[in-house]
Structure 1
Amino acid sequence: MSEAIVITPVKNSPETTLKTIEAICQSGCENNYYVFNDFSERATKDLLEKTRKKLNFNLIHLEEVTTNPSPNYKLVLEMAQEKALKKNLPLIIIESDVIIKPDTITELLKINETAENPGLVGAITTDKKGNYNFPYNFEKKKSDKIVNTSHSLSFCCTLLSVPFLSAFNFTELSQKKDWFDVSISRQSKKMGFNNYLAKGVRVLHLPHSSRPWKNLKYSNPFLYYFKKITQKRDRI
């Protein structure tokens, strides 16, 4: 598998991270697979080093690249974009709380090749029972359709096409934000690309495993938004 650059940003959550990495490496993309460790704690860092030796993927510790505290998603995107454009390959982002299937990457690449003018192609997320879940729980009806969507695509498991990567430089992303899936989805549409949600390409999502405080959004929304505002967390 060499048709895409695949990345996983990591911040702690060693159990889900290990499952994510193992599933991706089963797709045979080790040479073009990059794990970005964003100042994780020692237990996660040690696990990543041990797993790298076993599975032979590329591991980048951001503490060796920047002194800027986590989150460093903008830097990760900039570095990944550079790698993808250098090899003229699409970029696939698979986050550390997502477990893909053996054919997930292949299916995303097929859609990228056959769909009209794709900017982003996202796999839909499910819970352990197979039901669509966050961030795509607005999709109520199951199907195998590929939907040209006006909704923002999450970066849980999403492909960014070479034409879009070539058209928009990620250095232009705002320094004031932490996460960029909404911004990049909107930029893709603004530049005339189509964003596709592949409802038949399903991946398991275990939301907020690396940022458990975000579950307050559902259990205690008031406290979530209080922390979000006062602590300047989760800037989207």
Structure 2
Amino acid sequence: MGILYKALVVTPVKNAIENTLATIKTIAASDLPILHIVYNDYSDAITKQTLIDNLKNYSYELIHLEDITSTPSPNYKIVLQDAQKKALKMGLDLIIVESDVEVKNNTIKNLISFKNSNTKTGMVGAVTVDYKDKVNFPYLKFKDEKKDIIKTNRSLSFCCTLISNNYLQAYDFMQLDESKDWFDTVISHKSTEIGFENYVLMKETVLHKPHGSRPWKQLKYTNPLKYYWLKFTKGRDKI
């Protein structure tokens, strides 16, 4: 009998191989048996080869998006659509852990446990923190909350987020807008719109190193004028 996986975990990757390997290593140390798929989104040659070389060190599957689409990076929509199909086929929840995040051994287990005890859950996210364990982007909007569990209609980030199998059955990601690059906001809002509940677990922290794979996005904080100029003139970061 094969491994009875408890969740499908996916990580989209674009360069930043040191951060990516840290993410992969922490996922591999999870308490539960999970299927981890890394989606390589047109990374540079060094990143691609390093991901191939490390297949023997960590238990993940590797998909090169260049093998299934000619659309240039970012290809988050294709990742979500492919992952949804796989999760539904296996009857599993989908957990997204991005390549600038480090989870703890029990993070995935605790997300699943919470979902199992709250049957209306559409999405549940682990709160992101910095190296000093302080809540950081993208969850600064919740930094002053006193509750351990926040039920919210506001958008969840995909940094470390579970999307329940029930929600995956109810909303087809093939409907996602072709013109967008990122989909955490629309998928979060669709969840509550169709009757599911979204949560952020404030005690379930994961280390987040923002925008490790796309350093130009740091301009949003250091030079916002240049960030928005690039956003609108280059068509970047379409939410």
User: Which residue does the alignment assign to 2:83?
Assistant: 80
User: Which residue does the alignment assign to 2:98?
Assistant: 95
**Offset at 1:145?**
1.2
Alignment of 1:88-167 (within 5 A): 88-141=91-144, 145-167=148-170
Is contact 1:144–1:201 with CA below 8 Å preserved after alignment?
no
Paired residues in the alignment total: 236
Unaligned runs of 5+ in 1: none
Tell me the SS of whatever aligns to 1:138: helix
User: Which residue does the alignment assign to 2:224?
Assistant: 221
Query: For 1:178-227, what per-residue CA distance to the aligned partner results, in whole angstroms no more than 9, with x for missing partners?
Result: 00000100110111110000111100000000010001001111110110
User: Which residue does the alignment assign to 2:233?
Assistant: 230
Q: 1:196 aligns with which of 186, 199, 202?
A: 199
Task: Give the TM-score normalised by structure 2.
Answer: 0.96
For residues 117 and 32 of structure 2, what CA distance do their matches in structure 1 show? Answer: 21
For residues 106 and 28 of structure 1, what CA distance do their matches in structure 2 show? Answer: 7
Shift of the 130–144 alpha-carbon distance from structure 1 to 2, 3 Å rule, reads: farther
Tell me the SS of whatever aligns to 2:95: strand
Tell me the SS of whatever aligns to 2:55: helix
Is contact 2:30–2:106 with CA below 8 Å preserved after alignment?
yes
For residues 198 and 210 of structure 2, what CA distance do their matches in structure 1 show? Answer: 22
Q: 1:209 aligns with which of 203, 208, 212?
A: 212
For residues 146 and 55 of structure 1, what CA distance do their matches in structure 2 show? Answer: 32
**Offset at 1:143?**
5.1
For residues 136 and 84 of structure 1, what CA distance do their matches in structure 2 show? Answer: 26
Answering whether residue 30 of structure 2 is matched by residue 20 of structure 1, we say no
**Offset at 1:140?**
2.6
**Offset at 1:56?**
2.8
Identity %: 49
User: Which residue does the alignment assign to 1:10?
Assistant: 13
Shift of the 102–7 alpha-carbon distance from structure 1 to 2, 3 Å rule, reads: same
Tell me the SS of whatever aligns to 1:81: helix
Is contact 2:31–2:106 with CA below 8 Å preserved after alignment?
no
Is contact 1:144–1:200 with CA below 8 Å preserved after alignment?
no
